[in-house]
Structure 1
Amino acid sequence: RSSAAMVETPAGCVFEDIQHEDIQVEAAVGRGTFGVVFKAVWKGKDVAIKTIESDNERNAFLVELRQLSRVNHPNIVKLYGSCDNPVCLVMEYAECGSLYNRKSCFV
């Protein structure tokens, strides 16, 4: 069963079931809530791929998938979709890294 099918996405959400072979993974750029984050290219644009490392992290993955699929705002990283095998989120790539790592710039 696809990860997109595991959650109900609200009407009007643009969310794709992405094939992992359509993604060109470039390099690991950090760690997220539930796994490693990679910079990659999908459909000609830079994206971030968030992976899970164990079945224990699946719940955190599903929560993030559900939350990001419900929002569309220029100040929130866009979720493009998810992959089934391996399980991962395909998201907008934030060139400057996470806000957590950049917080000292805003103080």
Structure 2
Amino acid sequence: RLSATMVETLAGCMFEDIQYADIQVEAAVGRGTFGVVFKAVWKGKDVAIKTIESDNERNAFLVELRQLSRVNHSNIVKLYGFCDNPVCLVMEYAECGSLYNRKSYCV
């Protein structure tokens, strides 16, 4: 769960508090900066769920949550929100995978 201090740190950021029970997790698709990334369905759309695996990864989680909540651009993965139990980000699913692993653009 996110502590009260962590939630206070996120004040002013735009995202939705999502209930994990509303997400249908399908399969693990890789690893992110922290934790495992899963493909899932939320509100009828494909999403990526980024989890954290330890308390040490919470700072990276907060940084990514803060950064993604402040941007809105078609070339940046959209943040829909987060869950606090278990702690995870709910993001737009990028069908072609990570740019880090791509040698050419997905069309």
TM-score by length of 1: 0.87
Contact 2:40 2:47 in 1 (8 A): yes
Structure 2 unaligned runs (5+)?
none
* Matched-pair contact (CA < 8 Å) for 1:29–1:38: yes
Cα 1:34–1:47 change in 2 (3 A) is same
% same residue: 91
The secondary structure found in structure 1 opposite 2:58 is helix
Per-residue deviation, residues 55-93 of structure 1 (Å, max 9, x unmatched): 000000000000000000000000000000000000000
Q: 1:27 to 1:78 in 2, by over 3 A?
A: same
Deviation of 1:4 (Å): 9.7
Contact 1:4 1:17 in 2 (8 A): no
Which residue in 2 is equivalent to 1:20?
20
SS at match of 1:67: helix
User: 2:39, 2:53 → 1: CA distance?
Assistant: 17
Distance 1:20 1:3, change over 3 A: farther
CA RMSD, aligned part only?
2.8
Tell me if the contact between 1:14 and 1:80 (Cα under 8 Å) persists in the aligned partners. no
**SS across alignment from 1:106:** coil
How far 1:6 moved relative to its partner? Answer: 2.8
Q: Which deviations, in whole Å up to 9, do the C-alpha atoms of 1:36-65 show, x marking residues without a partner?
A: 000000000000000000000000000000
Q: How many residues align?
A: 107
Q: Which is worse superposed, 95-104 or 66-75?
A: 95-104
Unaligned runs of 5+ in 1: none
